[in-house]
Amino acid sequence: MKVLTQTIFLFMILCMFILVLPTLKADGNAGVGVMNVSPNFSDIKIMQQDNSVRIYLTLSDYNSWMDIYKVKILLEHNEQIVASFLFQQYENEESYEPINLFIDELNLNLLQIKSCDVHHADESVTISERCHLDLRFVFNASYFSKIHVIAEDRVGDTAETFVEYYAGGDIQRDSNTLFIPWINNNIKLVLPPHLLDVSILIVAILSTVYIGKKSQFSETLQKVFYGAK
């Protein structure tokens, strides 16, 4: 009976060793040594000042902040992506050498890379010090109505959140973009810049004349002047 008890005890220890060792090996560099859990958002703060928008993110990963691989911010309007910003902590999922890159993925020159920042605690005593990663994205204000944030860890587990936020700025248009307020989407025209500006002026004048003729104020003026005669 004693031999059987010892055998069962050793078998249980062996099973625990087999189950726990891969997890500790996988997350040993991450610092906490628990089974993989998805990252989550502890805090999101958005500030707009002058012509810049700042997004402050605090991400938490109970495997450690070192387990967070990349974070993406999508600016959306009318269900379309108008800008995409990426923070990448490592070159790939296997690396533990930080590169801390901020990338404007659509090359719109909106992201102020030098003003972006990543921060984490140097100590690893408390849970927050082990698990929290603070990010700051700074970009030029443009028109968007929704912020979509996606965080991904080494294993590929993700967390995402949406924030409704209406931000304005100078209308971002190139020499071939025509912006009409009552149309949701921009209109692309292949025209020289000066002809495009003339076209916009003509459209504005015709619209004003048309609306003026249909308004009651126009009818009143006609009665005053033509009635007096």
- Least Cα distance to 46 among 144, 128, 114 occurs for 144
Residue 112's pLDDT is what? 97
Determine which helix (DSSP H) or strand (DSSP E) holds 41, and give its type and residue range.
Answer: strand 40-49
Residue 70 to residue 83: CA distance in whole angstroms: 17
Determine which helix (DSSP H) or strand (DSSP E) holds 12, and give its type and residue range.
Answer: helix 2-27
Q: Domain spans of the chain?
A: 40-167, 177-228
Q: Does domain 40-167 have CATH number 3.90.220?
A: no
Residue 212's pLDDT is what? 63
- Least Cα distance to 100 among 65, 52, 48, 63 occurs for 65
The model's pLDDT over 187-209, given as tens digits with 9 standing for 90+, comes to 444 445 555 566 667 767 776 66
Residue 66's pLDDT is what? 92
Determine which helix (DSSP H) or strand (DSSP E) holds 209, and give its type and residue range.
Answer: helix 193-214
State pTM to two decimals. Answer: 0.61
List the pLDDT tens digit at each of the 229 positions of the chain: 555 555 555 556 655 544 444 444 444 455 555 678 889 999 999 999 888 999 999 999 988 999 999 999 999 999 999 999 999 999 999 999 999 999 999 999 999 999 999 999 877 778 778 899 999 999 999 889 999 999 999 999 999 999 998 765 443 444 444 444 444 444 444 445 555 566 667 767 776 666 666 666 566 656 655 565 4
- Least Cα distance to 173 among 185, 156, 164 occurs for 185
> Residue 90 pairs with which residues in a beta bridge?
98
